[in-house]
């Protein structure tokens, strides 16, 4: 490891931007080149479905850091530049115009792309997805008061856009093919809570609704469900998940699964190449041998730190408890951990009052917590997971006790 080596980062998103900062923080003095195919500097994506859509934040306010910061830190940012290939033997990346950028260490931070639907009518106008600032600008322009919005997919992006669109005065229908919302990413009590809240805000939710195709002349006019029902709309949003942008890694022979396989230092099967953020398939230190792909800002930051420590030759910090947040209406959801191996749930608080937490336990050990408008439960749950301490389930479910008082003395 050398603090003078050249580090090239592919992907100027959240993870790429965080890697720049972490490398300098960890004492890396050598050149850093940040290559991104989007125009402009790294920016925050979470507001795209929330404050930005509602007109409460403009694009400039989304930047992770101002242009002056990159100049001060002597970081070369080349935006609007797609990387087409990695030549591992020569240790260089190939840009569109055939020019090459050499590296000593390469960090892949290429993120994920919105999954597309290969159904009839998918090419019609006003069928949109939401992954980047360009998508958000198109969606914002389409979300005019009084219009009808059909959202295919009841995951976080779909539900956040539903909440924003209701605030903007649109008529909103969410189609979810599973029998409940957030089927892959949240517990049943939490999903039921969100379904109730969206319904109370006037969103129509169709469960078990498998999309058949889109209809329209030029622009979308209806979403058609497999059972033949037809939801008339002026705009459709497809929010059916994201796929890792791991094509560069695959093409140059790096080990890939559901994303680029990395170790606890974010290192790929090539010791000179790291992969961080949404594109990586990573070990979850807190959960033993469990591996997964996480799509969250805290994950991008953590792995940026791991890669920077490894490149700068510093000791890597211990693996963090993964966490995530979402905002819809006046609801702030915070999730810590993964419900790996959980065999029971304890609900603390009252969902009907809009403030509660679902703790996921394996025996007496907390594996994950979903906290709704309850930051103290989020903090307590995160600490329980990190420490591995056993908890008393009765106390955990009793709001007369503080959540942290549920901890039993370590065995």
Ligand X SMILES: Cc1cc2nc3c(=O)[nH]c(=O)nc-3n(C[C@H](O)[C@H](O)[C@H](O)COP(=O)(O)OP(=O)(O)OC[C@H]3O[C@@H](n4cnc5c(N)ncnc54)[C@H](O)[C@@H]3O)c2cc1C
Task: Note the residues at the interface with ligand X (CB under 6 A).
Answer: 10-16, 35-38, 45-46, 48-49, 82-83, 109-111, 130-131, 157, 245, 248, 277-279, 295-297, 300, 324-326
b/e code 281-314 from CB counts within 10 Å (16+ = b): bbbbebbeeeebbbbbbebbbbbbbbbbbbbbeb
Q: Which is nearer to ligand X, 221 or 246 (CB)?
A: 246
Q: Which is nearer to ligand X, 245 or 395 (CB)?
A: 245
**Least gap, CB of 274 to ligand X (angstroms):** 12
**Least gap, CB of 254 to ligand X (angstroms):** 14
Q: Which is nearer to ligand X, 83 or 222 (CB)?
A: 83
Q: Which is nearer to ligand X, 42 or 351 (CB)?
A: 42
Measured from the Cβ of residue 256, the count of other Cβ atoms closer than 10 Å reads: 19
Q: How many whole angstroms separate alpha carbon 395 and alpha carbon 411?
A: 18
Residue 295 phi, psi dihedral angles, 5° rounding: -115, 85
Residue number closest to ligand X, CB atom? 13
Asked if 282 and 266 count as a contact pair (C-beta separation under 8 A), the reply is yes
**Least gap, CB of 16 to ligand X (angstroms):** 5
Residue 270 phi, psi dihedral angles, 5° rounding: -105, 120
273 DSSP 8-state letter? E
Q: Which is nearer to ligand X, 6 or 296 (CB)?
A: 296
**Least gap, CB of 294 to ligand X (angstroms):** 7
304: its two tokens: 């940026």
- Which residues does 70 contact at the CB level (< 8 Å), separation at least 6? 20, 34, 41, 76, 77
- Torsion (CA) 310, 316, 321, 327 in degrees, nearest 10: -50
DSSP string, 187-213: -HHHHHHHHHHHHHTT-EEETT--EEE
Residue 283 phi, psi dihedral angles, 5° rounding: -75, 150
Asked if 4 and 30 count as a contact pair (C-beta separation under 8 A), the reply is yes
**Least gap, CB of 246 to ligand X (angstroms):** 9
- By C-alpha distance, which of 322, 320, 352, 351 is closest to 334? 322
**Least gap, CB of 243 to ligand X (angstroms):** 11
Q: Which is nearer to ligand X, 44 or 91 (CB)?
A: 44
Q: Which is nearer to ligand X, 93 or 396 (CB)?
A: 93
Handedness of CA 69, 75, 81, 84 (dihedral sign): negative
Q: Which is nearer to ligand X, 21 or 390 (CB)?
A: 21
Asked if 167 and 205 count as a contact pair (C-beta separation under 8 A), the reply is no
Helix or strand or coil: residue 263? Answer: coil
Q: Which is nearer to ligand X, 109 or 222 (CB)?
A: 109
**Least gap, CB of 113 to ligand X (angstroms):** 8
Q: Which is nearer to ligand X, 205 or 266 (CB)?
A: 266
**Least gap, CB of 126 to ligand X (angstroms):** 18
**Least gap, CB of 228 to ligand X (angstroms):** 32
> Could you tell me the CA-to-CA distances from 59 to 13, 55, 400 in Å, in that order?
14, 10, 44
**Least gap, CB of 356 to ligand X (angstroms):** 20
């Amino acid at each position: 490891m050398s603090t003078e080596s050249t580090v090239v980062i592919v992907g100027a998103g959240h993870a790429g931007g965080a890697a720049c900062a972490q490398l300098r923080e960890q004492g890396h003095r050598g050149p850093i080149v940040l290559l991104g195919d989007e125009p402009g500097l790294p920016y925050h994506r979470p507001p795209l479905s929330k404050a930005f859509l509602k007109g409460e934040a403009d694009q400039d306010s989304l930047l992770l850091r101002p242009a002056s910061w990159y100049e001060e830190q002597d970081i070369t940012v080349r935006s609007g530049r797609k990387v087409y290939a990695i030549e591992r033997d020569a240790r260089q990346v190939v840009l569109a115009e055939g020019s090459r950028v050499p590296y000593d260490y390469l960090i892949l931070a290429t993120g994920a792309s919105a999954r597309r639907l290969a159904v009839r009518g998918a090419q019609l106008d006003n069928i949109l997805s939401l992954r980047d600032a360009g998508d958000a600008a198109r969606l914002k322009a389409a979300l005019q008061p009084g219009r009808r919005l059909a959202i295919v997919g009841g995951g976080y992006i779909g539900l956040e856009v539903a909440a924003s669109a209701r605030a903007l005065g649109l008529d909103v229908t969410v189609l979810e093919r599973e029998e409940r919302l957030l089927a892959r990413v949240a517990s049943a009590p939490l999903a039921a809570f969100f379904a109730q809240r969206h319904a109370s805000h006037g969103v129509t939710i169709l469960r078990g609704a498998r999309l058949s195709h889109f209809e329209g002349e030029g622009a979308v006019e209806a979403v058609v469900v497999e059972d033949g029902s037809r939801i008339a709309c002026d705009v459709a949003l497809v929010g059916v998940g994201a796929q890792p942008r791991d094509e560069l890694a695959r093409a140059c022979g790096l080990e890939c699964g559901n994303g680029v396989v990395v170790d606890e230092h974010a290192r790929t099967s090539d010791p000179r190449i790291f992969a961080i953020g949404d594109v990586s398939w990573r070990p979850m230190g807190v959960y033993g041998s469990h591996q997964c792909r996480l799509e969250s800002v805290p994950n991008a930051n953590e792995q940026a730190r791991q890669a920077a420590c490894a490149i700068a030759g510093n000791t890597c910090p211990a693996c963090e408890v993964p966490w995530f947040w979402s905002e819809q209406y006046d609801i702030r959801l915070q999730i810590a951990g993964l419900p790996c191996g959980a065999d029971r749930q304890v609900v603390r608080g009252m969902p009907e009052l809009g403030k509660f937490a679902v703790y996921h336990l394996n025996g007496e050990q907390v594996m994950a917590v979903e906290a709704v408008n309850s930051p103290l439960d989020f903090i307590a749950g995160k600490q329980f997971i990190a420490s591995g301490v056993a908890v008393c389930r009765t106390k955990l479910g009793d709001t007369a006790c503080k959540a942290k008082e549920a901890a039993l003395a370590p065995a």
